[in-house]
């Protein structure tokens, strides 16, 4: 059987650890990870300066081929949320009941995709109001699992965040 | 008669021009400008590295003494919006019908202060969804004036933004 | 009637606020602002890292089309003063009695253009000796107006600097 | 039963991912991680600028309390290898047959601790000669396990590196 | 006989090579080098970020104890030239016929000290007008020696600059 | 007679002073200096950000044309030591009894070239173990001369380092 395939979003100013920890963690588990960028660019730079090379642009993604989408925080989500293909990916994955996981400011992408109405979720405290205004019940805990939607708050939640993603994928 | 008094918010990662243009512009017109920071810090640094020294912490502000509040963008508003005193200032100024002006990402502060319900407003496109979810009608124009609430999108809107603030103050 | 046209000089290491404040301020007043660079480059970077895109290279400037030239400080003037076309522009504007305005280290450009002999002027204190050696009477005040030559010392003088430029242009 | 306890070395210029991936990965597994620095400093900064706060200085470490030591790369090992307490920790852990794990340039610490004689090991290619001169047989593979000594080459080896550490700990 | 003693000026933004090459070169020859700073600060940072620790503040310098003063360029001279004690040192050394050596923008310090009237000198081309206005004859060559005054233009002139300083000191 | 010719190695993260001091010092003495880089790149950047332009790539070097090779420190040697042509140059120069000089971490290049067996040498203290494991007797002094091999520890040893190189070349 082919290994499960994970879509990992990227844009400039992504949080270094919220991107690379899930990247290597999913690989350690034997999954395939595709790095998905916006527009036509090949490379994106983290808040600290680490460069990530994409595998696919968001417009090239066929969600039928993926089992989960993971969205890191930092200020990258400020740009991801106006990329129509990233929003499409989140909506299609969510519609198919596949894992949609966001951490920290990445909650904005779920807000703009419109998938939080009536859901329990978390994110960093700064964007709590945006989640609530989008129809979510905001919980202040290291990871919130509401069906296929898995959300965390900050880098220190990464162990809990990945544990729940992996539990859901198995 | 005493000169009019302007509260200008600041936090780290403020947009250089969205802070300093209104700062000098209000001074050129003879107004007094008080730089208002969060917490107990004395200095805040812009995205580009310019340091601004505060006059008051937000908890010290008596809004009865001010005629307008101006909120610059950048990623500073991501922190301003969880400062309860900054939200209090915005609500009190708005309740008193005084000028409440935000540009770019500063729209978040108006969202978290809860003053946009049923109002017309603008901001940079990235946060349009947050404004709409907060009850605003989003307009894509250089400046939107809805009563005492004056909003703009980006640095290039600064001339229109300040023109409308000054018109309202006179 | 066509709006008045302002030439605004730029080079690397320009002072962020001394460039952008007059830029937006003249626009707010309805004037056209042309950013003028040296040599064949398209973009110049401020001390803090802001990029300015030029409208014209100095060699392309026909001074008959301009009503004022404004020269920002920082260490940009260290390079502007060896650009023969920038010096030509200053001399031609001055010869025609049009506004020639410099702030901070931009006084060097007036020194190298040779337009300060017998004039009253100011600049940041570091270059006072260069102004005096060039024949100027140095005054330590926020703005000095000697006919068409308008000079200021530091960023905090920007409101007075622009007020006098605008007064002269009307 | 108390959770297993891991010593994670740190110094300035540590490789961001080689430090933080094992840090969160061991935590995900339920282990306790103590960050161990040199000298009397409280904080150390990665190559990219991430700050790590220590739990203990190397001179305070009683190796009887630890089950493994993990040493990240970057240029931090250039300083770790002249810290006599870090060398003592490596030697004592190795003498007790506990996990001693290094990745990338961290191989230098094993060289200076003198624990590689007659062992198979790997590291980034730049320091291959130093390992060989210290008596190791250098293998070019993602992870080399020789008894309690576990070594890897580069950040992309992190999944294999942690997999073997965890296998050994259980 | 005591070794000759050299005063080497420093301020923030000093040119790295124009400071450190003469520093080590004079030491190689057996001379004592004292690093002289302005005001009350202990440390100054170069354009590239190298920190120099002073031996004396300019106000503490007794010129009777020195055989030469060397002034490096960069933008440090923009600040040195308003330090009255650095100007005093240059005037006293010059009055005593001792070596006064400047390279690149350090010519400004000689301008403000008023020691160039009727002298031949060089400097980087940007400040040629300031030297000429101060009464110097500007020559475009790697090193100009006019009695005790030794001047050069740019870092690549350092070998010629130090050769002439050393020739004069012997 | 043609001037003596010096090969000066370079790679990214070279120590600014350990590269540029010997560069200008050898020129001051009338020698020709060729900057030698690795691979196909034209430019290399120092730890502090100074750019050096190469004259030759290491693969193009015919050692019969050179009288000495000087290797600066910083972390550049971490890359130089895996460049087979740089190692070839060191071995050929050493085999011909010509000056081979390294300072600070550049001792690694001599380790990887295999020229230290049975020799006295120095380097910065961090890499002492690597020198000893490579067969050298490590001495803690500002410069160590063992036949044609001249080694120093840190930037402050530059005067002694260059004095001995020049003595040997004459």
Instruction: Measure CB to CB from residue A125 to each of B82, B127, B133 and give the nearest one.
Output: B82
* Confidence category of residue A126, pLDDT binned at 50, 70, 90: very high
Residue of D155, D159, D160 to mutate for A, most A C-beta atoms under 10 A = D159
Tokens for B155?
Answer: 């640095």
DSSP of F62-84, one letter per residue? -GGG-SEEEE--BSTHHHHTT-H
Which residues of F does the annotation mark as catalytic? 105
Residues of chain C with pLDDT > 90, as a percent, come to 96
Q: What is the pLDDT of residue C114?
A: 98
pLDDT for res E3: 84
* pLDDT, tens only, B27-50: 999 999 999 999 989 999 999 999
* D79 contacts F75? CB cut-off 8 A: no
Q: Which chain C residue's Cα is nearest to B48?
A: C48
pLDDT digits (tens, 9 = 90+) for C133-168: 999 999 999 999 999 999 999 999 999 999 999 999
Which residue among D105, D155, D157, D161 is the active-site one? Answer: D105
Mutate which of A18, A26, A159, A165 to test chain D, going by most D C-beta atoms within 10 A?
A159
- pLDDT computed for residue B2 by the predictor: 78
Interface probe with F: pick from E18, E21, E160, most Cβ of F within 10 Å: E21
**Chain B residue with Cα closest to A76:** B126
Measured between alpha carbons, how far is B70 from F142 in angstroms, rounded to an integer?
A: 61
Which residues of chain F are within 8 Å of residue E18 when distances are taken between CB atoms?
Answer: none
The size of the A-B interface in CB pairs under 8 A is: 36
Residue D134's pLDDT band, with cuts at 50, 70 and 90, is very high
User: Which segments in chain F show pLDDT lower than 50?
Assistant: none
Q: What ranges make up the beta strands (E) of E30-75? A: 32-37, 43-45, 51-53, 56-57, 68-71
pLDDT at C41 over 70: yes
Q: Which two tokens stand for residue E119?
A: 């002298």
CB pairs E-F closer than 8 Å:
53
Of D48, D49, D159, the CB nearest to A28: D159
Calculate mean pLDDT across residues B138-163: 98
CATH number at residue A117: 3.40.50.880
CB A77 within 8 A of CB A105: yes
E1 has pLDDT over 70:
no
Closest-CA residue of B relative to C160 is: B28
Kindly report the CA angle at D127 between D121 and D133, in degrees rounded to 5?
70
Q: What is the mean pLDDT of residues B97-122?
A: 98
Per CB-CB distance under 8 Å, the chain C contacts of E125 are 82
For A32-59, what is the mean pLDDT?
97
F129:D75 CB<8 A: no
Nearest chain F Cα distance for residue E12, angstroms: 15
B159 contacts in chain C (CB < 8 Å)? 24-25, 27-28
Instruction: Convert the pLDDT of each residue in D90-130 to its tens digit.
Output: 999 999 999 999 999 999 999 999 999 999 999 999 999 99
Write out the E strands in E55-148.
Answer: 56-57, 68-71, 99-103, 120-121, 137-138, 143-146
Q: Which domain holds residue A54?
A: 5-169
The number of C-alpha atoms within 13 Å of E30 and in the hemisphere containing its C-beta is 6
Distance of alpha carbon C80 from alpha carbon E54, whole angstroms? 34
pLDDT of residue F1: 64
Residue F108 distance to chain D (closest CA, Å): 9
Give phi and psi for B94, each to the nearest 5. -65, -40
Longest dimension (CA), chain E: 43
Nearest-Cα distance to chain E for C43, in Å, is: 21
Contact E126 C78 (CB under 8 A): yes
Comparing CB atoms, the residue among F16, F20, F159 nearest residue E27 is: F159
Q: Do F134 and D129 touch (CB under 8 A)?
A: yes
Average pLDDT, chain C: 97
Residues of D in contact with A159 (CB under 8 A): 24-25, 27-28
Mean pLDDT of B134-155: 98
pLDDT given for residue D113 in this prediction: 98
Q: How many domains are there within chain E?
A: 1
């Amino acid at each position: 059987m082919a290994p499960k395939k994970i879509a990992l979003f990227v844009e400039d100013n992504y949080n270094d650890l919220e991107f690379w920890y899930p990247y290597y963690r999913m690989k350690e588990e034997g999954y395939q990870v595709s790095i998905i960028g916006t527009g036509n660019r090949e490379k994106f730079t983290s808040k600290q300066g680490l460069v990530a090379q994409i595998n696919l642009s968001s417009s090239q993604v066929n969600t039928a081929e993926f089992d989960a989408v993971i969205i890191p925080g930092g200020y990258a989500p400020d740009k991801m949320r106006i990329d129509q293909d990233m929003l499409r990916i989140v909506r299609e994955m969510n519609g198919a009941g596949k894992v949609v996981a966001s951490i920290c400011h990445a909650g904005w992408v779920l807000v703009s995709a419109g998938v939080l109405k009536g859901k329990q979720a978390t994110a960093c405290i700064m964007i709590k109001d945006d989640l609530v205004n989008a129809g979510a019940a905001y919980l202040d805990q290291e990871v919130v699992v509401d069906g296929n939607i898995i959300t965390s708050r900050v880098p220190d939640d990464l162990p809990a965040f990945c544990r729940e993603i992996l539990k859901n994928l198995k």
